[in-house]
Amino acid sequence: MSSKQKKLVALLADVDATTVEHAKEMGLSPDEFDRATALIGRVPNKVELGCISAMWSEHCSYKSSRVHLRRLPTTGPRVLVGPGENAGVVDVEPEKANGWAVAFKVESHNHPSYIEPYQGAATGVGGILRDVFTMGARPIAAMNLLRFGRVDHEKTPALVDGVVRGIGGYGNCFGVPTVWSTAEFDRAYDGNVLVNAFALGVLQKDAIWKGNASGVGNPVMYVGAKTGRDGIHGATMASDSFSEGQEQERPTVQVGDPFKEKLLVEACLELFARGSELLVGIQDMGAAGLTSSAFEMASRAGSGVALDLDQVPMRETGMTAYEIMLSESQERMLLVAQRGKEAAVRAIFAKWDLDCTVVGAVTDDGLVRLTRGGVEVCRLPAAPLADEAPRYERPHVPPPPPPPLSRDDTRALLARPADAIRDVLLSPTLAPKTWVYRQYDREVGAGTLMDGTQASAALVRVPGTDKAVAMALCCNSRHCSLDPHEGAKRAVVEGYARVAAVGAIAIGVTDCLNYGSPQVPEQMGQIVAGVDGIAEACRTLDVPVVSGNVSLYNQTDDKAVLPTPTVGVVGVVDDVHKVAPAQGLKAGDVLLRLGEPPTSVDGSFAVWQHAGRKGGLAKLDLSSTTALCALVRALRTGGNVLDARPVLAGGLATTIFEVARQCDLVARATLPEGEDFLTGFLGEDRLTFLVVVDNQGIDAVRARCAAAGIECAVLGSLGVAPSFRLADAQGERVFDADFKALVDAAEAIVPALVSGPRARSAS
């Protein structure tokens, strides 16, 4: 909804009847307006239409994706809470009746982050943290997946700087370690950045809270920050495409206060600890603010709520009911307390200097009734609006396959193979993100065993136990562009392999589906294929999807982002002592490759760099993937290997360089006889692992591989020679570079792109 169109709605008073024109301004189609009118038996007034349009926005209702999301596997013996709640909950101690569980979810904050990068990213973190602690969990880890436009686009430096500062500014102050971050650059994101934020918390599995407004007469209480005019209709903005000049939408971006949220989490956890003696249900006010929390809480419990909006704490004067209901001011929660316990609830929040006000009560009429100044301004059925949002089976066609690779496309690659390797290692997308990580407190909580600067997945201890939770946030958008089904499938495989490499078994998945417009059949086709790809991988690997988010309309005018189904995989390690980094890697340690070698450079980062979206992507065999990951996991927990990494974007060259850089030892590697240099070092069509073993341990690993029928090749070793060297068996093709200079060049890439001549000072 662009600013020039807002005039009609602005002229309307809260209780004035609306028309189809008003509905269009609020992002509803004429059909949806008719549906709403039919549902309530009359024309909605302005407040009512505002509530309906927010609830039925793509962002809140998943109206274009819901029919497809049903195909995801969402159940399993460890699943305690599946999709539909604020976050999914998975058991990490199935052997105990009242042991630990983890709550986690990933969510997008793409549109706001493009318009106002610092606050957009910060409130993305704040929102996902609230989703997690609303379930009763204390957040112990955060991750993010970022996508920016090409590095020489004029907006990129300020976007990178603002988003990274925003994520750090919020998470660091709140006190959650940000243990994983991935940032990539592609011109497809020039007009639409992606900011996907993940949070994970721990809770006792017999103390899970849900957003239920039950018990007629129980008080509905509002806690946290006051309501202002910020973020009004944010959910609707997030459900629309951008057009040029949309920076004027800044007023629809919320402003975050991480300190307030820190107080809120501590107060809520104190309240939860008192159990059902005080509390009935709780929900955060995220997208669509008070509207979605009121409707969803009543709908889940099959009850109604009556709210007196005059009681809502307000930051500004003269706010209308419409503004109060659609504000997306941050750090607010709605809760239903036990009747008569208001004072005890209030005392807990008062200890933390937070407002806590009774704003209404639970009713049995199934309605959400709102009054402002003594006048009823809204009377809508809760359940139908929340549950019976429109669902669309949008037309979709398979996205056209990429054009084939021609000889011209790969001529440069083949002619100068060493340059091809250097281009990959020094690409902004694959360059180290040390500059980013350094701005995140990765250790607050004192439970971080490994973060993304040290391993293929983050590993965080479950407090007070020997268990740890492994996690990674993944998507190879280039693969998804080449083949939306296979790419999404591989995103799950990547996460599964990453957690296996730190010794964890995957126990749950959360996803955030970032795509273009569902109203363009080719793009809808990408969404459908992406869901199917995730479903296929999750089913075969036996990992359920327990939470998620869909972000559509990531496009400017008619240019959409690369399909980016972000997949967060969470795994568990039962004994951290078995996988903890021992004494580190040392000179003389040996590099092995496990798994069948790549067969082609098709689908590789190197080809994308030189030719763009061309060629194809081979189908990955999932059953051999499972076996390979199981072996790596066993080697890791058995202490047979010192380090293990799945070989992913950028191929073996990138993985070897990453290990060398992180342990500050020079690597030298030679491919086995008969393998092509470029395919061996840059190919990504099959899944392999790079593992590092002590010189004495080679035979044991070889024997384990032989027993499992998995190929194992000795590639080389770590040492202190000055040059980093990759070669084929004949020594005909060689990449040889001064290690220190290569590391310095790689580390300089991200800081240089931010502090370049176009960068402006940050907020």
| Residue positions annotated with a catalytic role | 59, 109
Nearby residues of 58 by Cβ (< 8 Å), 6 or more positions away: 64, 238, 239, 518, 550, 552, 553
Q: How far apart are CA 510 and CA 473, in angstroms?
A: 9
Q: Report the C-alpha gap between 561 and 149 in whole angstroms.
A: 10
Q: What span, in angstroms and rounded, lies between the C-alpha atoms of 649 and 47?
A: 49
Residue 437 as a binder of another protein (CB under 8 A): the answer is yes
Residue 126 touching another protein (CB under 8 A): no
Stretch of 2-10, 31-39, 444-452, 495-503 lying at the interface with another protein (CB under 8 A): 444-452
Asked if residue 604 binds another protein (CB under 8 A), the reply is: no
The H-or-E segment that residue 385 falls in is: helix 382-387
Structure tokens at 732: 């005909």
- Please select the residue that binds another protein; options are 418, 580, 734, 752, rule is CB under 8 A: 580
- Residue 444 makes contact with another protein by CB under 8 A: yes
- The nearest distance, CB 171 to another protein, in angstroms, is 10
How many CB atoms neighbour CB 217 within 10 A? 10
Token representation of residue 692? 């590092």
Minimal distance, residue 751 CB to another protein, in Å: 10
Among 115, 173, 225, 541, binds another protein (CB under 8 A): 173
Nearer to another protein, 234 or 432 (CB): 432
Say how many residues touch another protein, by CB under 8 A: 36
Quick check: 449 binds another protein (CB under 8 A)?
A: yes
Shortest distance, position 138 Cβ to another protein, whole Å:
9
**123 lines the binding site for another protein (CB under 8 A):** no
CA distance 477 to 210: 34
Which of 10, 97, 446, 707 binds another protein (CB under 8 A)? It is 446
| Residue choice 240, 284, 423, 441 for contact with another protein (CB under 8 A) | 441
End-to-end C-alpha distance for the chain, whole angstroms: 26
Report the relative pairing of strands 138-148 and 279-284 from DSSP bridges. Answer: unpaired
CA distances from 642 to 49, 332, 577, 693 (A): 60, 46, 13, 5
User: Cα separation of 222 and 412, whole Å?
Assistant: 63
Q: Is 643 one of the binding residues for another protein (CB under 8 A)?
A: no
CB 19 within 8 A of CB 30: no
683 in Cβ contact with 593 (< 8 Å): no
User: Which of the residues 724 through 753 are near another protein (CB under 8 A)?
Assistant: none
Instruction: Sketch the per residue contact string, 259 through 278, with another protein: x for CB under 8 A, - otherwise.
Output: xx-xx---------------
Q: In this structure, are residues 377 and 45 in contact, taking their beta carbons and an 8 Å threshold? A: yes
Rounded Cα distance between 76 and 123, Å, is: 32
445 binds another protein (CB under 8 A): yes
Window of 38-46, 171-179, 233-241, 380-388 that interacts with another protein by CB under 8 A? 171-179
Minimal distance, residue 348 CB to another protein, in Å: 13
User: Taking CB under 8 A as the criterion, which residues in 203-262 touch another protein?
Assistant: 257-260, 262
- The token pair at 655 is 């993985």
Task: Give the binding range for another protein (CB under 8 A) out of 338-346, 411-419, 439-447, 612-620.
Answer: 439-447
Q: Are 551 and 564 in contact (CB under 8 A)?
A: no
- For residue 13, state whether it binds another protein (rule: CB under 8 A): no
Q: Which is nearer to another protein, 263 or 749 (CB)?
A: 263
Other beta carbons less than 10 A from residue 183's beta carbon: 21
- Mask for 548-577, x = binds another protein (CB under 8 A): ----------------------------xx
Q: Interface with another protein includes 70 (CB under 8 A)?
A: no
Using rule CB under 8 A, residue 440 touches another protein: yes
Query: What are the residues whose beta carbons fall under 8 Å from the beta carbon of 605, sequence distance 6 or more?
Result: 424, 427, 429, 430, 478, 649, 650, 651, 654, 682, 684
Q: Out of 88, 117, 168, 487, point to the residue binding another protein (CB under 8 A).
A: 168
Stretch near another protein under the rule CB under 8 A, chosen from 124-132, 270-278, 437-445, 598-606:
437-445
Pick out residues in 314-373 that bind another protein (CB under 8 A): 351-353
b/e code 297-313 from CB counts within 10 Å (16+ = b): bbbbbebbbbbbbeebb
Q: Which of 29, 751, 665 is nearest to 390 (CA)?
A: 29
Minimum gap (Å) between residue 749 Cβ and another protein: 17
Where does this chain bind another protein (CB under 8 A)?
165, 168-169, 172-175, 257-260, 262-263, 351-353, 437-449, 461, 463, 576-577, 580-581, 762
